[in-house]
A = this chain, B = another copy of it.
Amino acid sequence: MGLGMSTDHVDAGTRGEVTFINRFTVHAAHEEFERIFAEVSQFMRDKDGFLGNTLFRNVDEPHIFINVARWRGAADFRRAVADPAFAAHAGALRAVSTSEPGLYAPCLSFSAVPAGGER
Contacts and interface: CB of A to CB of B under 8 A. Distances in A.
Contacts of A19: 56
Contacts of A7: 30-31
B107 A45 contact: no
B21 A56 contact: yes
A48 to B, nearest CB: 9
A69 to B, nearest CB: 9
A57 B9 contact: no
Given A68-B68, A119-B46, A58 B110 contact: no
B103 A59 contact: yes
A107 B57 contact: yes
B64 A113 contact: no
